[in-house]
Structure 1
Amino acid sequence: MTILTTSKLDNPSPRLLATDYARAVLDGEIVASRKVRLACKRHLNDLEKQGTEDFPFIFIEEKGHRPIRYIEKFCKPSKGKHDRIVMQMWQHFCIGSIYGWIHKDTGLRRYTSGLIMVARKNGKSGIGSGLSVYSASSDGERGADVYVLANSMKQVRKTIYDETAKMIKASPVLKRNFRVTRDAAYYDKTNSIIEPQASDSEKLDGLNTHLAIFDEIHEFKDYKLINIVENSTSYREQPLLLYITTAGYQLDGPLIDYYEEADQVLDGPLKNDRMFYFIAELDSLDEIDDSSKWVKANPNLGVTIKLEKMQEEWAIAKRTPEKRTDYITKRFNIFSKADQMAYLDYETIQKNKKIIDMKQLHGRPCTGGYDLSETEDFTSACLEFPLPETGEVFVLSHSWIPRKKVIAANEKIPYMEWAEAGLLTISDHDYVQYEMVYDWFIEQSKKYQIELITYDRANAFRLNLDLEKYGFKTQKVAQGHLTLSPAMKDLKHLFLDGKVISNNNPLLRWYINNIQLVKDRNGNLMPTKQNRYRKIDGFAALLNAHTNVMTDLTTPVEAGTVKVWSIKDLMRR
């Protein structure tokens, strides 16, 4: 088998190579990631069913090739030794698919959004800049408003918009037809504009988006800007939202949602015919030292990236934990935490996505835990169920927060989404009243056998007194390295083995992603939050409970019986 990289395309192509790329990937001639292979398979499968009653889309190569031909003819690189841009086969596949698939009756584009995720230095900015210029001048849309978007204006001006402005100035044809300023590029013939926008832009109202290019959305923590742009497309016939990014350290937010959705769509269970996905990544950490696999994350290897240079860089980077993590994330396109003292990585979290019917837990023994807020902030409680028959644990977690904290909305946290999902209660008081936590435990005790409630004694005196009056057994958990470190390590081993079940609770996952570890001189661990906005209260409640539950998991299961006995059950017997 001959293994090719996409650098075999050295000259502008007279035709679209999207389908050729898809076939070469599936034939093994081009090394590609699993998700890219699935995207190629999707393309070829759709070609077979195009125009059928159940699939109203058709693929027109000329429409897909038109923006590529435009970019290669008119756009010029702003730096480097090359004087022209040549789209590579993977770029033919991305751009050709997005612009070539149309509805058979209306002729309008099939894809209204697309995720292009490749490692750094693979020409992402070239795609974004080239399509920005094409959309403003030659996409058949008068008054085309093109927006380049990022988390901040400082960032957006440093990335795709800056490259777009330089690309226009480097091309004699484009320079004659566009007016470029610091704040926008104007194409007067169609009354169109290319403009940078960001979450911190002073004016986001009144947008009328034809094309939006979101640069590096791995930094986005919420959907605020995305929602604004989506809502601004209603008056356009064929608007397009493109997310062009590398992997990152933000393990919650839009990119993770789109990334996980891609798996579901490309692999079959979920249907979304209107979003295109191209995710070039190493398929596992086992491939990071195999340079023959690096092209999976770097489809421009051999063109804008030299293999020998990457090998030299990796040999140096992997010696230092911080540099190693950054290289894995940015050059191999694998999600990870920037801080080597982070608790769990993305790959580990993904192992723990099992869902079970809560009715199976009725009457089962469990341990409670809670963490009360000191001020007007999160309060959390949980029940942890040991499942000795499988070695798993189930975590039922709930949190509370004052409404005025939600109204302030200066932390970009999706409070309302969590509340609607039943994971968060928003209190109308200025602080979370401990009676709300008390009532929650009472309500849960009607369904489950709460054997013990563990707690951090800070702020817990009144709640703990009332719980004991009701009849609950409680236990104080010392908040120190010697007490919490064994529970943290044991819980991490459960996560690594994929044995923590929470029915995909996104609020609990958010708490876990916010953890940064502090290690004492004896190697004992303590959790702390990364910053004042990244809360860990839900994990603190779970950790309190796990100091007790981890002993229950060592109890053997009786052979031939359905009932699962905990240590306390066996002692009673």
Structure 2
Amino acid sequence: MALSNTAVPKYYGMFRDAVIRGEIPVCKEISMEMNRIDDLIANPGVYYDDQAVEGWIAYCESELTLTDGSDLSLLDSFKLWGEQIFGWYYFVERSVYQPNPDGHGGHYVRKNVKKRLINKQYLIVARGAAKSMYGSTLQGYFLNVDTSTTHQITTAPTMKQAEEVMSPLRTAITRSRGPLFQFLTEGSLQNTTGSKANRTKLASTKKGVENFLTGSLLEVRPMSINKLQGLQIKVATVDEWLSGDIREDVIGAIEQGASKVNDYIIVAISSEGTVRNGSGDTIKMELMDILKGDYINPHVSIWWYKLDSIDEVGDPEMWLKANPNLGKTVSYETYQLDVERAEKAPAARNDILAKRFGLPMEGYTYYFTYEETLPHRKRDYWQMPCSLGADLSQGDDFCAFTFLFPLPNGSFGIKTRNYITSTTLMKLPAAMRIKYDQFMAEGSLIVLEGAVLNMMDVYEDLDNHIQECGYDVRCLGFDPYNAKEFVARWESENGPFGIEKVIQGAKTESVPLGELKKLSEERMLIFDEDLMTFAMGNCITLEDTNGNRKLLKKRYEQKIDAVAAMMDAYIAYKLNRDAFE
């Protein structure tokens, strides 16, 4: 069959029929993508070619192997994803230079040029779905079947991780099971002066995997913008772009270089991650806009597998939504064991929900579980006695104050007030900026003009806030780092009584952290602000060999200062219990 602008793609048709029959459950995002494909089928300007994808399948199944050397037979999901890349074409009118028949001179003629429609494919699919193997089949196809000289790269958060895409190709070269690879690997790599016919045409070298017939190269690159900018890339695979703590949009950098090449393809594959508000979240917001139809971009293919809600984790029939290859590349038993582990080990729960079921939870919850970070209903503590905790350790761009109100039943009311500079706000990535806007709207985050926070401005604003709310502050716990002028002014205006210095470290933090954890488990820390939820969700604690804990403050983007201030307030409260009698 030639190109058709009405045909339904073969493998997509089979998949759609299975979905309609109810054999394959799909999530909301996949059904949105199916609507986009139906639009392509209905679009008279877009053509479907059934031969290109069959060529890719034939190449993969006759030549390639798995990492362990066994024969590769493509999964239905691979055929579905690959058909999106190889199946769709459109025509553009271009001026093309045509030499004269006698070889002297030439002239420009207008021609219709066939172009591949899909340039970018995003695959967000659970762990164990053989994503890297899919990336490897595409790389191998363009390296050995495409006759043009191509530069291909694969990248991942670490160089060793990127090797996962290379190793099946290296195994396939070693085994060379099909006629093409037998021809390409015939000869010797040492033969550099003799006949070219006796040299090997495809080899794994220290550069990467090289095809000497076409001069094509597939190499591993580090995942940073300055290593990926300006490359003329035909094919790029980006692995695990959601899993690591990636702060740069590497896919955008690759695309800018690749756009110099005709018919480039970028495949971004990953399982869902637990690190929030990085560039990955910003990309996911853009993908969601494309799926909803708010932003029309037919050049992007999006396969975003996940469960629709956390209630479906207990229903094995729904797990196919998160991993279409369940039962083929990963067993149901593996999933079952992980579900049981998530129930028994709360620290691993978020990682399992993200990696196995595509449900990203807020931040890492190494310390406070998801349920403990849910806010309570709104409450006011007008004219009530409280302990104030101050964490000014990032005084240049973030100050946190937490008020702790001891309540009669042994629980604690919590209010927090935080300060950042307008400069810090402007530098935030899109996903993080939306988060901060929520905090500003609820009044827990105050933005002060300038590049550096002036401690006196902070003091005056906080003082006004305390008077407006009528809080009766009876003691102050502070982290001494960067707090000198603030505390000196506090002492001169409120007297020296009840001011407690809290030195950071496992020695002072371990016991209060344990007590706060017990209180949060019993839901006796009563906070109603999203900022507190966010800070508690980001809390990671370091534990030494004796089981002593302290807060980890390594990551600047993941603000936990409100929790540190809460701990300071709690320590000051414990040292001044008699003031609250």
TM-score (norm 1): 0.66
Q: CA-to-partner distance for each residue in 1:171-206, whole Å, 9 max, x for gaps?
A: 342351522224311223433211111137996565
**Candidates 106, 126, 137, aligned match of 1:130:** 137
Q: 1:483 to 1:296 in 2, by over 3 A?
A: same
Partner-residue secondary structure (3-state), 1:179: strand
Q: Report whether the alignment pairs 1:120 with 2:97.
A: no
What CA distance in whole angstroms lies between the structure 1 residues aligned with 2:501 and 2:259? 56
Deviates more, 1:213-222 or 1:124-133: 213-222
**Candidates 61, 85, 88, aligned match of 2:73:** 85
Q: Report whether the alignment pairs 1:25 with 2:16.
A: no
Partner-residue secondary structure (3-state), 1:148: strand
- Tell me, yes or no, if the aligned pair for 1:179 and 1:186 is still in contact at 8 Å: yes
Q: CA-to-partner distance for each residue in 1:428-459, whole Å, 9 max, x for gaps?
A: 7xxx6xx6243356579999956559964233
**Candidates 465, 475, 478, aligned match of 1:457:** 478
Query: 2:96 — aligned with what?
Result: none
Partner-residue secondary structure (3-state), 1:341: coil
- Tell me, yes or no, if the aligned pair for 1:25 and 1:37 is still in contact at 8 Å: no
Q: Report whether the alignment pairs 1:529 with 2:552.
A: yes
- Tell me, yes or no, if the aligned pair for 1:370 and 1:455 is still in contact at 8 Å: yes
What CA distance in whole angstroms lies between the structure 2 residues aligned with 1:464 and 1:132? 61
Q: 1:437 to 1:95 in 2, by over 3 A?
A: farther
What CA distance in whole angstroms lies between the structure 1 residues aligned with 2:137 and 2:78? 12
Q: Which runs of 5+ in 1 are unaligned?
A: 1-13, 52-56, 353-366, 385-391, 404-413, 548-573
Name the amino acid aligned to 1:121: G
What CA distance in whole angstroms lies between the structure 1 residues aligned with 2:416 and 2:214? 57
Q: CA deviation at 1:121?
A: 2.4
- Tell me, yes or no, if the aligned pair for 1:116 and 1:278 is still in contact at 8 Å: yes
Partner-residue secondary structure (3-state), 2:136: helix
Q: Report whether the alignment pairs 1:438 with 2:456.
A: yes
What CA distance in whole angstroms lies between the structure 2 residues aligned with 1:69 and 1:15? 14
What CA distance in whole angstroms lies between the structure 1 residues aligned with 2:521 and 2:448? 28
Instruction: Count the aligned residue pairs.
Output: 487
Q: CA deviation at 1:62?
A: 2.6
Q: What is the root-mean-square deviation in Å for CA atoms of aligned residues?
A: 5.4
Percent of residue pairs bearing the same amino acid type: 19
What CA distance in whole angstroms lies between the structure 1 residues aligned with 2:337 and 2:48? 43
Query: 1:58 — aligned with what?
Result: 46
What CA distance in whole angstroms lies between the structure 2 residues aligned with 1:368 and 1:66? 68
What CA distance in whole angstroms lies between the structure 1 residues aligned with 2:51 and 2:132? 22
Q: 1:492 to 1:308 in 2, by over 3 A?
A: closer
- Tell me, yes or no, if the aligned pair for 1:380 and 1:400 is still in contact at 8 Å: no
What CA distance in whole angstroms lies between the structure 2 residues aligned with 1:291 and 1:207? 44
- Tell me, yes or no, if the aligned pair for 1:220 and 1:253 is still in contact at 8 Å: yes
- Tell me, yes or no, if the aligned pair for 1:121 and 1:304 is still in contact at 8 Å: yes
Q: CA deviation at 1:215?
A: 1.0
Specify the structure having the higher radius of gyration (Cα): 2
Partner-residue secondary structure (3-state), 1:164: helix
**Candidates 540, 548, 554, aligned match of 1:516:** 540
Partner-residue secondary structure (3-state), 1:219: coil
**Candidates 129, 149, 173, aligned match of 1:143:** 149
Q: 1:112 to 1:191 in 2, by over 3 A?
A: same
Name the amino acid aligned to 2:222: A
What CA distance in whole angstroms lies between the structure 2 residues aligned with 1:174 and 1:498? 64
What CA distance in whole angstroms lies between the structure 2 residues aligned with 1:498 and 1:261? 32
Q: CA deviation at 1:297?
A: 1.9
Q: CA deviation at 1:489?
A: 8.3
Query: 1:399 — aligned with what?
Result: 420
TM-score (norm 2): 0.65
Query: 2:118 — aligned with what?
Result: 111
Query: 2:165 — aligned with what?
Result: 160
Q: CA-to-partner distance for each residue in 1:234-276, whole Å, 9 max, x for gaps?
A: 4123333221111233233233333344344323445544432
Deviates more, 1:417-426 or 1:205-214: 417-426
What CA distance in whole angstroms lies between the structure 2 residues aligned with 1:335 and 1:205? 30
What CA distance in whole angstroms lies between the structure 1 residues aligned with 2:162 and 2:317? 34
What CA distance in whole angstroms lies between the structure 1 residues aligned with 2:416 and 2:17? 45
**Aligned positions of 1:229-244 closer than 5 A:** 229-244=254-269
Partner-residue secondary structure (3-state), 1:255: helix
Q: Which runs of 5+ in 2 are unaligned?
A: 1-7, 94-113, 185-200, 376-386, 404-412, 438-444, 503-508, 571-581
